[in-house]
């Protein structure tokens, strides 16, 4: 008796033809049930995995996965800026453009921007990089010329992929040119080709990838406190900006009356006093002069009176550091040996690490000079002068190898410049 006959006997009475056909179909279904369910299960698993993969790579879900990552890095080297577009749902541009921006109005500051471009590319930033510089350089150093400025601009564009933005020179008639021409940085508020910008002064040094700041909460401007001042003013050497024509219009009106109102820092405070997003200064706005201070309470204020100063830890957690050590000058300007000896960080005999403040202060300058020698286009003889301990004074110097003439010459009458 086969299986079909047994099923027949379970019925009350003799099965007819329809019953026989029904039993045969049921038997065939039972025979193929196991492979059917296996196939269906595998297909379902494949669909689930496909859905999870699509979810994890969808730009619409990126923000949901990183909402809590505001002040810590969330990018790997392969994350592209288009993954951030949900932060800016109002934009009509896909993907939006994010950029680090710098400005330079003098050759020395242009060299500093190259140093920072090198640093950012080494850190594998995902965003673009933009450079604001005087449009007059287009005439004084046109494309195809061999002057240092033209060559550094070409290097910025070709080697580091920097977007060049020649714009008008904004300046005041007060103070040193380095200060009076700093108003040119304010063009950054009108770079509307970008959805969001991280602006950095070129007389500072980018130490780590800051792409995560593009995920900071929406605000037309975000910046840290000038912690070294008592009045709680906002600092302008690092800013996160959402450019707009309206914002640029306000800036232009202010610049028209600049001689009555101050410098760039005063403008930034005027624009931001009531609506700025305040960034933590610790890690983003550190001054090199902090290593020379004996009291670090202002810098550590965010963590309360119990916070302790550790120069190694503070430098390692810093994303950007600003050269500010007056009376010692900026690192590209020579200082006397006496100036350095009188103003370098003191050594505390109670420190765990011998002369930690001085060691890490010096390391920042050493890094700057190492990068400067590697990336800046300067006269070889000028480098030799510096390393021989000779001062760079006003005059004329011609470099035969590059056919470039510099307004400097070497004289051995001044003590060894610092940090060479």
Burial class (CB in 10 A: 0-12, 13-18, 19+), 168: exposed
**Rounded average pLDDT over 339-356:** 79
Q: To which H or E segment does residue 411 belong? A: strand 404-411
| CA torsion, ordered 278, 284, 288, 289, to nearest 10 deg | 20
Q: Which helix (H) or strand (E) holds 404?
A: strand 404-411
Residue 167 pairs in a beta bridge with 134
Question: Would you report the helix, strand and coil content of the chain in percent, each value rounded to 5?
Answer: 45, 15, 40
Q: What is the pTM of this model?
A: 0.70
pLDDT digits (tens, 9 = 90+) for 128-152: 999 999 999 998 888 989 889 999 9
* Spans of all domains in the chain: 3-56, 96-377, 379-420
Residue 280: CA atoms inside 13 Å, Cβ hemisphere, count?
14
Task: Report in angstroms the alpha-carbon separations of 132 from 18, 170, 272, 401.
Answer: 88, 11, 22, 29
Per-residue model confidence as pLDDT tens digits over 102-117: 999 999 999 999 999 9
Cα separation, 400 vs 356, whole angstroms: 43
Model confidence pLDDT, tens digit, residues 381-402: 444 444 444 444 434 444 433 4
**CATH level 2 (architecture), domain 96-377:** Alpha-Beta Complex (3.90)
Q: Are 175 and 263 in contact (CB under 8 A)?
A: yes
Which stretches does DSSP call E strand in 215-363?
A: 221-224, 238-241, 277-279, 286-287, 320-322
Confidence band for 337, pLDDT divided at 50, 70 and 90: confident
Q: What is the mean pLDDT of the chain?
A: 75
Burial of 208 (0-12, 13-18, 19+ CB in 10 A): middle
Split at pLDDT 50, 70, 90, the class of 353 is low
Lowest-confidence pick of 116-120, 154-158, 219-223, 288-292: 219-223
Give the per-residue pLDDT at 296.
Answer: 93
Q: Is 291 helix (H, G, I), strand (E, B) or coil?
A: helix
Give me the residues paired with residue 399 across strands: 404
Which parts of 84-228 are beta strand (E)?
A: 98-103, 128-134, 163-167, 196-200, 204-206, 221-224
Residue with tokens 């070497």: 410
């Amino acid at each position: 008796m086969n299986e079909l006959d047994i099923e027949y006997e379970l019925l009350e009475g003799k099965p007819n033809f329809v019953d026989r056909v029904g039993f045969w179909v049921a038997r065939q279904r039972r025979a193929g049930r196991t492979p059917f369910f296996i196939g269906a299960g595998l297909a379902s698993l494949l669909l689930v995995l496909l859905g999870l993969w699509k979810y994890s790579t969808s730009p619409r879900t990126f923000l949901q996965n990183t909402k809590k990552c505001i002040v810590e890095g969330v990018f790997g080297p392969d994350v592209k800026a288009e993954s951030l577009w949900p932060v800016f749902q109002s934009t009509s541009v896909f993907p939006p453009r994010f950029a680090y921006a710098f400005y330079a109005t003098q050759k020395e500051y242009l060299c500093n921007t190259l140093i920072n471009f090198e640093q950012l590319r080494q850190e594998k930033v995902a965003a673009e990089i933009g450079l604001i510089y005087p449009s007059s350089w287009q005439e004084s150093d046109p494309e195809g010329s061999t002057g240092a400025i033209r060559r550094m601009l070409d290097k910025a564009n070709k080697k580091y992929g920097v977007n060049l933005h020649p714009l008008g020179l904004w300046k005041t008639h007060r103070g040193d040119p380095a200060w009076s021409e700093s108003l040119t940085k304010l063009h950054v508020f009108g770079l509307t080709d970008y959805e969001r910008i991280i602006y950095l002064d070129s007389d500072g040094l980018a130490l780590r990838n800051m792409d995560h700041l593009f995920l900071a909460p929406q605000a037309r401007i975000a910046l840290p406190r000038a912690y070294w001042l008592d009045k709680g003013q906002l600092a302008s050497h690092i800013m996160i900006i959402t450019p707009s024509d309206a914002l640029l219009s306000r800036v232009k009106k202010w610049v028209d009356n600049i001689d009555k109102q101050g410098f760039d820092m005063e403008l930034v405070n005027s624009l931001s006093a009531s609506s700025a997003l305040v960034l933590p200064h610790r890690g983003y706005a550190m001054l090199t002069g902090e290593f020379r201070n004996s009291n670090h309470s202002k810098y550590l204020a965010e963590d309360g009176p119990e916070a302790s100063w550790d120069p190694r830890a503070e430098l390692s957690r810093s994303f950007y550091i600003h050269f500010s050590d007056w009376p010692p000058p900026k690192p590209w300007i020579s200082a006397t040996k006496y100036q350095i000896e009188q103003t370098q960080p003191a050594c505390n005999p109670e420190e765990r690490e011998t002369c930690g403040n001085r060691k890490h202060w010096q390391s920042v300058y050493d890094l700057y000079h190492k990068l400067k020698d590697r990336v800046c286009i300067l006269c070889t003889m000028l480098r030799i002068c510096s390393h021989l301990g000779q001062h760079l004074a006003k005059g004329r110097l011609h470099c035969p190898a590059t056919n470039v003439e510099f307004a400097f010459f070497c004289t051995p009458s001044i003590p060894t410049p610092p940090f060479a």
